[in-house]
Amino acid sequence: MDSETIAHGLAALADVDQEVARAFEMLGPPPPRLRPVGFETFLATIVSQQLATEAARAILGRVQALMPQTTAQALLSVDDDALRSAGLSFRKIEYAKGLALAVEEGRFDIDALATMSDEDAIASITALRGFGRWSAEIYLMFSLRRPDVFPADDLALQVALGRLKGLEARPTAKQARELVAHWAPWRSVGALFLWHYYRGAPA
């Protein structure tokens, strides 16, 4: 999401939610967050699972150095031992090669995601091994720039939403979705703001 989308979405959210309006006045907008579309971003998602950002970036760089370009075809030609030496676990190699094979065989069409509905795109992504709903929703939000996605299973979002709404306990994913239903059609911006709030608001 770019700055213009964030500003437009937060203005709309502040109109329908007084807690968002107060927090927005206190913290200001979150920074833009954009990721490219395509195979490289999906590969980066696998590499980064359960790793700190800097460690994931270093491993991804070593993996990419093994290929002339970051494509499904190129990855399939890389020996598993070389990927292991670059820092990928056996499980992540399995996921990465599975992704690449699905692309090469036409079972997963990355370009087609742009024309699918949110739920159809999420279903297509989560059919791949190694990709849960959260990963799919993040791709929709920051690569496809879909405006109305809310990854309710995210722990930080649940904590931030509970704090924003003054709840005694962290809401469940189901409760979180209900609490932000009136944020439509700007729930992606709302989620980005909640991560911003999580890092910047007093406990």
- Going by C-alpha positions, the residue among 101, 129, 126, 127 that lies closest to residue 39 is 101
Residues 58 and 7 in one domain: no
Query: How many domains does the chain contain in total?
Result: 2
3-state secondary structure of 93: helix
Residues 44 and 136 in one domain: yes
* Boundary (domain end) residue, out of 100, 122, 142: 142
The domain that holds 46 is classified in CATH as: 1.10.340.30
- Going by C-alpha positions, the residue among 126, 106, 147, 159 that lies closest to residue 42 is 126
**What pLDDT tens digit does each residue of the chain (203 aa) get?**
899 999 999 999 999 999 999 999 999 999 999 999 999 999 999 999 989 999 999 999 999 999 999 999 999 999 999 999 999 999 999 999 999 999 999 999 999 999 999 999 999 999 999 999 999 999 999 999 999 999 999 999 999 999 999 999 999 999 999 999 999 999 999 999 999 999 886 55
Domain extent for 51 = 39-142
Residues 50 and 129 in one domain: yes
The domain that holds 177 is classified in CATH as: 1.10.1670.40
Residues 121 and 63 in one domain: yes
Q: What is the pLDDT of residue 201?
A: 62
* Boundary (domain end) residue, out of 142, 168, 192: 142
Q: What is the pLDDT of residue 193?
A: 97
Residues 123 and 171 in one domain: no
Distance CA 50, CA 199 (A): 20
- Going by C-alpha positions, the residue among 33, 42, 6, 13 that lies closest to residue 121 is 42
Q: What is the pLDDT of residue 1?
A: 87
* Boundary (domain end) residue, out of 142, 161, 187: 142
Q: What is the pLDDT of residue 85?
A: 97
